[in-house]
Structure 1
Amino acid sequence: MSGQTTNCGPGGGAGDLTALRIASIFIIGVGSIGGALFPVLAKRSSWLRVPPAVFDFAKYFGSGVIIATAFIHLLSPALDALSSPCLSEGWSQYPYALAIAMSSIFGIFIVELIAFRIGTARLKKLGVGHDAHGHGLGAHSAHGPEAASRTSATASITSQAEQSADEKDTEPHEQKLGHDHEIGPVEHTHTQETIAQIVGIAILEFGVMLHSVLIGLTLAVSPNFRVLFPVLVFHQTFEGLGIGSRLAFLKLQAKQEAIPIIAAVLYGLTTPIGIAAGLGVRTTYNPGTAHASIVSGVLDATSAGILIYTGLVELLAHEFIFSREMQEASNAKVLYAVGCMMLGCGVMALLGRWA
């Protein structure tokens, strides 16, 4: 974090303002959980009528927050940590933070590519089409234009259903089970889509949670607590809004409806857990030591790569360039969406001045 003096010794962090540091566990926890839960609960609420424009604002604002978090709040601290004067000379001879972030980007890309190809092969065997530009499959793609194969897939499924109905009364029990099973591509497609969405949001949340634990540890022992604390309240609330706006629009089955709420609460607990852990070891933990710098630098760089990939590919590309909604939207709506995203990016980037 900016403003900290270099202290390579093994001593602990700042020991003042103990009561306020303990209170920060609950204050930041409420802000984080509230920011992440509000979009989820508002989307499901029948009495809290939130205009669609508010959800659009939260979604695109959150995209900007996530992108700024990747570059300003993760990659920059990783560069600082892995170029610390407390480290050996070898660490300054290569941009390790950038290399780790790049490796993280390619790692996430390869995992998603393999998963996408496996899913595509399985759907092809079932005769079900999907969106070639995104991870959403079938008619309810979460992002990307809907493929023309959607119509042929629907027709194929309808034909199978009619064939099953005609033969239902003439086939033995075992054969009827076989035809009933053939109607499965609809359910299978929805399952594949659900898994793809959950994996995508899990990758995003994993990167954010790593960052949240680290800043909690830093806040607990930072001598700049008075400046850092209010900034992190806003930081975590805005970041929670970005996560929550994604969770709110997950298309899940009835038995999976608790997933967004659990994910929002998990995100909200990470920074308080980091603060509590930092307070527990603040007499011995110094974030400026060589080992602490290496750990925080590597984790920040890894998280930065995850969020850079997610922000640019999943959020920007799929929601603006490949989105059928945006392709058919008016220029005013597109400008509004881009403006919301730039606002979120600008606000979070500004917070990087202090945290």
Structure 2
Amino acid sequence: MSDSNCGSGGGATTYAQLRIASIFIVLIGSTSGALFPVLAKRTKWLHVPKAVFDFAKYFGSGVIIATAFIHLLSPALGELSSPCLSPAWQQYPYPLALAMLSIFSIFIVELVAFRWGTAKLATLGVRHDAHGHGLGAHSAHGPEGGMPNDDSSSEKIKEDLESAHDHELPELGALGQIIGVFILEFGVLLHSILIGLTLAVDANFITLFVVIVFHQTFEGLGIGTRLAYLQLPKKYNYVAICGALLYGITTPIGIAVGLGVQNTYNPGSTTASIVSGVLDSLSAGILLYTGLVELLAHEFIFNKEMITGSNGHVAYAVSCMLFGCGIMALLGRWA
């Protein structure tokens, strides 16, 4: 163990001008990837075919899952097993435990929110699909098919109730979707800050820079498609745009901060390894839960369109997802 590797030290200062330019280049790539699907879905002057949105949606699901495994959980294992850390860190698989803690924490939060929303709807006399096809946190990833058809009298009662409570129901739906998107964005934003800091001080700048530009653009496409499919009341339309912009600026902020502390911040130091390892582990759990439960299961297993659709359509969707996962996993070879 050497002080130069484990102390406070400082980061690399080569390619100074390009490091500064990377703030704006990554900003353009990240923001474009996240904002384009949102604007294309909500504006008339951008006519994007539904097939393109479908591709982006399934591709994005694969990107998010690969990010969790390859770009978060794997680095966390390395960071918390660094020789700079106390031997106590080697006596237990802390990254995996923290990821598991994150998964169950998100599960409990969503379970409570889901039960509260369902109970609230019950007081209004409106039934809720237990698989999340109606209102609740699981609706964050977009529509999955219609509700089962009731008889005419039930439909009449439901219409009357919805008319009587036309303000309360949209508010509940908006809350559920915003919770789901917030959970997804929270995990991604933590990761984005960390990779921005790393890019600013890493010695292998050129390779990492190229990979991160593609990484952030692809990940932004996945986030942006989720935001585009939000079904919110008009007064909440700004949420999707703000979510895309927030994603776009996070990594550039991380790069700027990294450049500001370039002479003192050492990504291999003891403190940096612990902070990065813990945050990467927690973020991995968030994205694993979101990717596997919110996106994968609800887009394929509980999606009426997938259950009754043609084999070709299902195969296309799965192929898009695997393509996104494969591309992001491949980028993990260099970063």
Specify if TM > 0.5.
yes
Instruction: For residue 279 of structure 1, report the CA deviation from its aligned partner.
Output: 0.3
Whether the 8 Å contact between 2:61 and 2:324 is mirrored in structure 1 is: yes
| Letter of the 1:264 counterpart | A
Equivalent-residue separation in structure 2 for 1:103 and 1:9 (angstroms): 30
Instruction: Tell whether 2:320 aligns with 1:320.
Output: no
Q: 1:99 to 1:153 in 2, by over 3 A?
A: farther
Equivalent positions of 1:115-126 (< 5 A) are: 115-126=113-124
Is it true that 1:251 corresponds to 2:252 in the alignment? no
The farther-off stretch of 38-47 and 144-153 is: 144-153
Query: Mean Cα displacement is larger for which, 251-260 or 128-137?
Result: 128-137
Look up the equivalent residue of 1:117 and give its one-letter code: R
CA distance in 2, matches of 1:265, 1:49: 21
Please show how residues 28-39 of structure 1 align to structure 2 within 5 Å.
28-39=26-37
Partners of 2:172 and 2:150 lie apart in 1 by: 15
Name the CA shift for 1:224/1:54 in 2 (closer, same or farther; >3 Å): same
Aligned to 1:169: none
| Matched letter for residue 126 of structure 1 | L
Match in the other structure for 1:84: 82
Unaligned runs of 5+ in 2: none
Q: Go from structure 1 to structure 2 and tell me whether the alpha carbon gap of 1:66 and 1:159 turns closer, same or farther (over 3 Å shift).
A: closer
Match of 1:295 among 275, 300, 322: 275
The aligned runs of 1:1-355 (5 Å cut-off) are 7-134=5-132, 136-137=134-135, 142-144=142-144, 146-148=146-148, 154-159=155-160, 183-355=163-335
**How many pairs align?**
328
Contact 2:145 2:303 in 1 (8 A): yes
- 1:146 deviates by 4.1
Greater mean alpha carbon deviation, residues 145-154 or residues 74-83: 145-154
The answer to whether the 8 Å contact 2:258/2:265 transfers is yes
Q: Is the 8 A contact 1:143 1:322 kept in 2?
A: no
For the 8 Å contact 2:200–2:256, the answer to whether it is kept is: yes
- Distance change (3 Å), C-alpha of 1:11 and 1:333: same
Contact 1:132 1:147 in 2 (8 A): no
Most deviating of 252-261 and 60-69: 252-261
Following superposition, the deviation at residue 41 of structure 1 comes to: 0.8
8 Å CA contact 1:286, 1:292 repeated in 2: yes
| Distance in 1 between residues matched to 2:6 and 2:312, nearest whole Å | 53
Contact 1:321–1:327 (CA<8 Å) still a contact in 2? yes
Whole-angstrom CA distance in 2 between matches of 1:258 and 1:242:
18
Shift, 1:315, TM fit: 0.4
Check whether the contact 2:59–2:325 (CA below 8 A) recurs between aligned residues. Answer: yes
Instruction: Verify the 8 A CA contact 1:133 1:144 in the aligned structure 2.
Output: no
Given that residues 128 and 153 in structure 1 are in contact (C-alpha distance below 8 angstroms), is that contact kept between their aligned partners in structure 2? no
SS at match of 2:6: coil
Q: Post-superposition shift, 1:194?
A: 1.6
Tell me the amino acid that sits aligned with residue 80 of structure 1.
G
Deviates more, 1:338-347 or 1:319-328: 319-328
Which one-letter code corresponds to 2:235 in the other structure?
A: K
- What letter matches 2:126 in structure 1? V
Larger radius of gyration between Structure 1 and Structure 2? 1
SS in 1 for 2:299: helix
TM-score between the two structures when normalised by the length of structure 2: 0.94
Q: Distance in 2 between matches of 1:153 and 1:82?
A: 57
Q: Distance in 2 between matches of 1:333 and 1:252?
A: 27
For the 8 Å contact 1:36–1:241, the answer to whether it is kept is: yes
Distance 1:48 1:22 in 2: 32
The one-letter amino acid of 1:298's match is V
Identity of aligned residues (%): 67
Which deviates further from its counterpart, 192-201 or 240-249?
A: 192-201
**How large is the RMSD of aligned CA atoms in angstroms?**
1.9
